[in-house]
Structure 1
Amino acid sequence: MTRFKLSTKYKAIAIGGSAGSFQPITKILSVIPKDFPLPIFLCLHRLKHVRHGFVEALSIKSLKSIHEPFDKESIKRELVYLAPANYHLSIELGNTMSLSTEGLINNSRPAIDITLESAAYAYRDKLIGILMSGANKDGALGMQKIKDRGGLTIIQDPEESMISTMPNSALSVTEIDHVLKTDQIIEFLLELDQMLRSG
């Protein structure tokens, strides 16, 4: 059994991914219970001109409802919030989210760094950040910010990742709490689910 840093203090999960992350993220979403008690913010690099079909593709196997938020929308813990195509997604104080069309970061909009860094500011040590496969460095600084503010950091094992640049970039800038394969990330989330329900 893998030993994890588990706690009942966590209030949100933020997941980032790019090339090679769709399949493992879909696998994770297929196992997380529908009533998992934390909101999940999902920022994936996606084609900016393709606005339809992505939510549907993720929803095919997901047990939880996947939703593209509106600007200033309130956060509900039972949903997975997917950053919309061509919009940066920020998590705000006061339990809301905001969208922006500011410039590209790491050649990306949505940028994983923006979602992770803003979530770290809003949730501090009560955030879990997960960074999956990807071909650039987006998300590395976001994971560093999560770590700096006391949150828990997890990356997909670079040896398992289809493209290891993204998780390796996070490893190069901060101390990561857990380096896990997809099945171990699922194990972590299911153990967390049980702890939160019993705690």
Structure 2
Amino acid sequence: MLGPSRLQAAAYEIVAIGSSAGGVKALLAVLGALPVDFPVPLVVVQHLDPRHDTILADILDRRSRLRIKMAEPDDVIGPGVVHLAPPDRHLLVHPGGVLSLSASEHVKFVRPSADLLFESVAEVYGPSALVCVLTGTGSDGAAGAGAVKSRGGTVVSEDPETAEFKGMPQAVAKAVSVDLVLPLDDIADALVGLVEGTRTL
């Protein structure tokens, strides 16, 4: 059980992560390095092939100290739990940390969409939203990062120079003033520092 002082210290209320090509390896690096007492919930969009049942949650769960699960409708997010968007469903966060899944149209040719997740997080959490864009092709996440910035939230991006696929990190850098651009191996520590208020931008 997390102590209330740890929770009250959190400078952010949620971390949302978007990734695509190369993202499984990147998520293993980030989620695998976060501590068991990470004090806020995480929501993740990783583009997955909708034609196959995914074992992504199982793979990540074995390598992370956090609890990792596929998001289900009406799940309520909580500290130390990672909710993954299932294949072919958009993941949205609503007031009170309630999740919903949507089969609405593809956004920029993808479903789930990091843009839609980030936009919902921005709307609910405003300046308490922290989003992170990892490796991937295309530009998913850039518009959502803009929504987060417009409401006072924080955007972290993997350095395009070290990302396996540069498209998503480059797109977000063109779209907004990214608060932190970091090599993959530095992202987990940065997320911990930002959330706990021990790191400034």
TM over 0.5: yes
Equivalent runs, 1:92-107 vs 2, <5 Å? 92-107=94-109
Give the aligned partner of residue 75 of structure 1.
77
Measured in 2, the distance between the counterparts of 1:126 and 1:113 equals 17
Higher mean alpha-carbon deviation, 82-91 vs 22-31, is at 22-31
TM-fit CA distance, 1:52: 3.3
Measured in 2, the distance between the counterparts of 1:192 and 1:140 equals 21
Give the aligned partner of residue 164 of structure 1.
166
Measured in 1, the distance between the counterparts of 2:102 and 2:196 equals 36
8 Å contact kept, 1:51–1:84: no
Q: 1:74 is aligned with what amino acid?
A: V
Where structure 1 has 5 or more consecutive residues not aligned to the other structure, the ranges are 1-6
Query: What's the TM-score, normalizing by structure 2?
Result: 0.89
- SS for the counterpart of 2:63 is coil
Measured in 1, the distance between the counterparts of 2:65 and 2:104 equals 32
- Call closer, same or farther: CA 1:144–1:194 in 2, change over 3 Å: closer
Number of residue pairs matched by the alignment: 190
Q: 1:152 is aligned with what amino acid?
A: T
Do residues 139 (structure 1) and 156 (structure 2) align? no
Q: Give the percent of matched residue pairs that are identical in Structure 1 and Structure 2.
A: 29
TM-fit CA distance, 1:195: 4.1
8 Å contact kept, 2:12–2:194: no
Measured in 1, the distance between the counterparts of 2:17 and 2:197 equals 20
TM-fit CA distance, 1:187: 2.1
- Call closer, same or farther: CA 1:193–1:142 in 2, change over 3 Å: closer
Of 93, 118, 121, 1:119 maps to 121
Of 34, 37, 40, 2:39 maps to 37
Where structure 2 has 5 or more consecutive residues not aligned to the other structure, the ranges are 1-8
- SS for the counterpart of 2:48 is coil
Do residues 85 (structure 1) and 60 (structure 2) align? no
Query: What's the TM-score, normalizing by structure 1?
Result: 0.90
CA-based RMSD? 1.5
Do residues 154 (structure 1) and 152 (structure 2) align? no
Q: 1:156 is aligned with what amino acid?
A: E
